[in-house]
Amino acid sequence: MNRYRNDFPLLQQTNDKNLTWAYLDNAATTQKPTVVLDTVADYYRKANANPHRGAYDLSVAATRALEEAREKVRVFISAGKAEEIIFTKSATESINLVAASWGKTHLAAGDEVVLAVSEHHSNLLPWQAAVRDAHAVLKYMYTDECGRIPDSEIESKISKKTKLVAVAHVSNVTGVINPVEQIIQKAHSVGATVLVDGTQSVPHMPVDVSALDADFYVFSAHKMLGPMGVGVLYGKAELLDDMPPFLYGGDMIEYVEEQNASFAPLPQKFEGGTQNVGGAAGLAAAIDYLNAAGMVNISGAEHDLTGYLLDQLKRIPYLRIIGPDENSGRIGVVSFIIEGAHPHDVATILNADRVAIRAGHHCAQPFMHYLGVQATCRASLYLYNTGSDIDRLAESLKGVRRWLGHGA
């Protein structure tokens, strides 16, 4: 995958030591290739107008850009209908939309919502609010010591009382690929609805929401080479049709009277206000880039690179991997701790060597507590990373304890 690195301007920047970035924080956000940057700039230079609201050429071009992006998203995740693709500002907003809108009309006292304990706060806090408002119950599927959800948890926690299951396709802490097919099948067998957080899966592997039979599926553009400020909600049309609007305002109405209103059909019903058309165009360009690389190729190359990353980390004294240390059933998101070194100190020391990793609780505090750690370091890979990035990470990590005065 080395050939892709030259497409990313930020990765060509050097500091006063002539070091480029070994950027290993891709689970948080990804860098943008030139084609995405140019597409966003070209939209604002050549087609900037409000979509759906004008008969003049610029507005028509803006509408075309938005709807072509919607169609590219539909094809990319194998959704059945374009109207099942809702643009939001983030995956977080997408989950909040479902929790507020679907939750308002489908959750009642005594109902149960089931999450994995490993969920990102974005797929936890909205459900805390939803069950509190409905006087429902929040239950958790707990993982084993490696962060994998056992079959017994799926079978015992999802019951006839379950109304919704919300689970990440891939953990942003351990990189574990959760058994979403099994979870969806079990949930549907008891009549429950399923929301899948695909923020760590869609960028790294082929995803087919129709084959999964997911009811809702969410992800963010900025984690897949696209701009910040654009999220996607996929939802089955029959579910979305039955849900009330989430944001009220322009472009989501059919007709407004002084005391009442009727609302536009999907997808506009959930897209109140002016959409981020430039961002959607950038997402479309990112999808084109990923398709040209090939999602199967990306997944395979990242698998090999993850194996190399794990091997290098396991050779470093005083380092412990949090989650599985084998290269199966996972993606290239690896959390670890170094004995005697706080993760924030580790990340700061690595920054001096132009190595970028994440440090903290990764917006998964209940999972951190469950695993018995307060924070971890996290290195995460994408298609532009190379073996030399991992070598620089490993070499820098070897000096952390000496830098902190431990002597080795």
Positions annotated as catalytic residues are 363
CA angle, residues 57, 225, 39, in degrees to nearest 5 = 25
Residue 272, token pair as written in the block? 């109140």
What is the C-alpha to C-alpha distance for residues 118 and 94, in angstroms, rounded to an integer?
Answer: 19
Burial 159-197 (b: 16+ CB within 10 A, else e): eeebbbbbbbbbbbbbbbbbbbeebbebbeeeebbbbbb
Q: What is the largest CA-CA distance in the chain?
A: 75
What is the C-alpha to C-alpha distance for residues 332 and 100, in angstroms, rounded to an integer?
Answer: 33
What is the C-alpha to C-alpha distance for residues 137 and 122, in angstroms, rounded to an integer?
Answer: 18
For 178-310, strand residue ranges (E) read 193-197, 216-220, 231-235, 253-256, 261-263
What is the C-alpha to C-alpha distance for residues 100 and 51, in angstroms, rounded to an integer?
Answer: 26
Q: Is the dihedral of CA 208, 165, 180, 334 positive or negative?
A: positive
> Could you identify the residue written with the tokens 């942003």?
172
CB 270 within 8 A of CB 247: yes
Residue 124, token pair as written in the block? 């936890």
Q: CA end-to-end span of the chain, whole Å?
A: 34
Nearest to 280 by CA among 110, 76, 138, 113: 76
> Could you identify the residue written with the tokens 């089955």?
236
Residue 24, token pair as written in the block? 């290993």
Nearest to 346 by CA among 370, 319, 371, 364: 319
CB 112 within 8 A of CB 106: no
